[in-house]
């Protein structure tokens, strides 16, 4: 089976960026599970610049990983995939995520909360609707940052269903995608699709991550997931991606300047002129695809080889993803009384989150019954490879 070590590294680095992004969410002025007492706009331009492409890149790489996994054999594929995704999602919702909601209740519930974590957890498991503020109530249980896992399983299921029930039609669609993502069309057709989604759906559907009403996100993320699946073994598409990396980088840089300036100028929330707003949404889509092409193209040109470090990180990245946000929220909540300067506290949070996440990985990988609960393969399967067997 073909190994794509470049995609392994892209996936690892994208998840590392996600950790830094979620630390940043504590310091910006946007509402999050917990927020610093001294919010600032300083990080927001950098956060915004990663928003168009960060998750789309992960879904595309996950689509390619799914193609390699399916290439190992269709028999039992959905059962195996469900086990590797839904079991960690369930464990995450029942055990890993509740401390995030508890910290949120401690900090934001009017009048505070003093019943202790165990009492909260029992109410969490009962789907207690009583944690409300300003007319809005916490929906419990919740998956918080683990929405990505739920969406990934759902897209996998829809793709598998299409391949099983309509194999010929599915094959034609996948081949059309391969043909579109080669040559000059690589930088045209995906941008056109993403721009239409941004212009047509984004104004109508908020980003909810709730699965049932998240139509704009479904259109963009599932399209990128299917595109990754379609081109996983399509050398012509990857050759085009590699050849376009410099052009895509230049386009991405220009779009980034525009997007950064736009959100800096309109940081006060005042509505911009309609024409400028629609231009921003168009540029957003251009940046979304050009960054993805640039990163994939440079990674393929780099052509990394296998290494013990890559094997370790490739196996560790999914449990790190499951654990990291809870660690961030709990650490941030308990560091707040110290009133550390953000310039000190922020890097401390990043380092501590990675350290505790990888400490968790070491515990999980050494404890056989914990491995499947956090998406890690058994020891024999864990020695098999990288992108072809990773859960996300």
pLDDT tens digit sequence for 284-299: 999 999 999 999 999 9
Dihedrals phi, psi of 136, to nearest 5 degrees? -115, 135
> What CA–CA distance (Å, rounded) separates 89 from 151?
11
Query: Are the beta carbons of 58 and 390 closer than 8 angstroms?
Result: no
Q: Which ranges in 126-234 belong to alpha helices (H)?
A: 147-165, 167-180, 189-200, 215-231
C-alpha dihedral sign at 369, 370, 373, 378: negative
Sorted by sequence, the CB contacts under 8 Å of residue 288 that are 6+ apart come out as 52, 53, 56, 194, 220
pLDDT for 386 beyond 50: no
Confidence of residue 382 (pLDDT cuts 50, 70, 90): very low
Residue pLDDT, tens place only, 46-89 = 999 999 999 999 999 999 999 999 987 778 899 999 999 999 99
Residue 361's pLDDT band (boundaries 50, 70, 90)? Answer: very high
Helix, strand, coil % (nearest 5) of the chain? 70, 0, 30
Does residue 383 register a pLDDT over 70? Answer: no
Q: Would 130 be classed as within a structural domain? A: no
Residue 257, Ramachandran bin (φ over 0: left; ψ between -120 and 50: alpha; else beta): alpha
Task: Give the residue-averaged pLDDT of 165-181.
Answer: 97
Q: How many structural domains are present in the chain?
A: 1
DSSP-assigned states of every residue in 297-333: HHHHHH-PPP-HHHHHHHHHHHHHHHHHHHHHHHHHH
Residue 136 lies in a domain: no
**Domain-embedded: residue 302:** yes
| pLDDT for the residue 295 | 98
Question: Does a structural domain hold residue 390?
Answer: no
Residue 270 within any structural domain of the chain: yes
Q: d(Cα 23, Cα 4) in Å, to the nearest integer?
A: 30
d(CA 84, CA 382): 13
Q: Is residue 110 part of a domain?
A: no
If we measure between CA atoms, which residue out of 217, 226, 205, 58 comes closest to residue 158? 226
Question: Would you say residue 135 lies in a domain?
Answer: no
pTM of the model: 0.94
Tell whether the model's pLDDT for residue 154 goes beyond 50.
yes
Q: Is residue 222 included in any domain, yes or no?
A: yes
Domain span holding position 158: 5-97+143-382
65 near 387, Cβ under 8 Å?
Answer: yes
């Amino acid at each position: 089976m073909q190994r794509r070590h470049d995609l392994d590294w892209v996936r690892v680095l994208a998840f590392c960026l996600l950790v830094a992004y979620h630390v940043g969410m504590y310091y910006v002025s946007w509402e999050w599970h917990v927020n610093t007492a001294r919010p600032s706009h300083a990080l927001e331009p950098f956060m915004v610049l990663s928003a168009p492409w960060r998750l789309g890149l992960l879904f595309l790489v996950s689509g390619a990983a799914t193609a390699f996994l399916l290439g190992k054999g269709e028999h039992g594929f959905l059962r195996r995939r469900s086990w590797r995704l839904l079991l960690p999602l369930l464990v995450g919702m029942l055990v890993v995520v509740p401390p995030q909601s508890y910290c949120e209740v401690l900090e934001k519930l009017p009048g505070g909360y003093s019943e202790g974590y165990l009492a909260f957890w029992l109410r969490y498991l009962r789907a207690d609707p009583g944690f409300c503020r300003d007319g809005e109530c916490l929906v419990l249980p919740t998956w918080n940052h683990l929405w990505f896992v739920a969406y990934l399983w759902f897209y996998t299921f829809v793709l598998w269903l299409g391949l099983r029930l309509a194999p010929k039609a599915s094959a034609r669609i996948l081949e059309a995608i391969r043909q579109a993502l080669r040559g000059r069309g690589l930088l045209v057709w995906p941008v056109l699709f993403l721009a239409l989604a941004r212009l047509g759906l984004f104004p109508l559907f908020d980003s909810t991550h709730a699965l049932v009403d998240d139509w704009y996100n479904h259109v963009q993320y599932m399209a990128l997931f299917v595109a990754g699946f379609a081109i996983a073994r399509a050398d012509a598409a990857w050759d085009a991606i590699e050849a376009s990396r410099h052009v895509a980088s230049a386009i991405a840089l220009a779009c980034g300047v525009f997007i950064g300036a736009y959100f800096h100028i309109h940081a006060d929330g005042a509505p911009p002129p309609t024409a400028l707003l629609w231009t921003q949404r168009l540029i957003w889509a251009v940046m979304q695809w050009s960054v993805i092409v640039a990163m994939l193209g440079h990674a393929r040109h780099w052509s990394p080889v296998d290494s013990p470090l890559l094997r370790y990180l490739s196996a560790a990245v999914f449990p790190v993803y499951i654990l990291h946000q809870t660690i961030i929220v709990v650490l941030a909540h308990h560091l707040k009384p110290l009133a550390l300067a953000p310039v000190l506290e922020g890097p401390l949070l990043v380092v501590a989150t990675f350290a505790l996440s990888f400490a968790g990985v070491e515990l999980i990988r050494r404890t056989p019954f914990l491995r499947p609960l956090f998406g890690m393969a058994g020891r024999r399967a864990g020695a098999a490879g990288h992108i072809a067997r990773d859960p996300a």
